[in-house]
Amino acid sequence: MLQRLLDRPYRFNELQHSIEGISQKSLTENLHQLEADEIVTRTVYPEVPPHVEYRLSAVGESMRPIIESMESWGTRYQKMVRRE
Instruction: Flag whether pLDDT at 36 surpasses 90.
Output: yes
Backbone φ and ψ of 22, nearest 5° = -85, 135
CATH number at residue 32: 1.10.10.10
Residue 84: predicted pLDDT: 64
Q: Give the number of domains in the chain.
A: 1
- Global pTM value: 0.82
CA Rg value for the chain? 15
Element (H, E) at 54: strand 51-56
Closest CA to 31 of 15, 49, 48: 15
pLDDT at 19: 94
pLDDT of residue 47: 86
> Please, are residues 5 and 60 in contact by the beta-carbon 8 Å criterion?
yes
The arithmetic mean of pLDDT across residues 32-44, rounded, is: 97
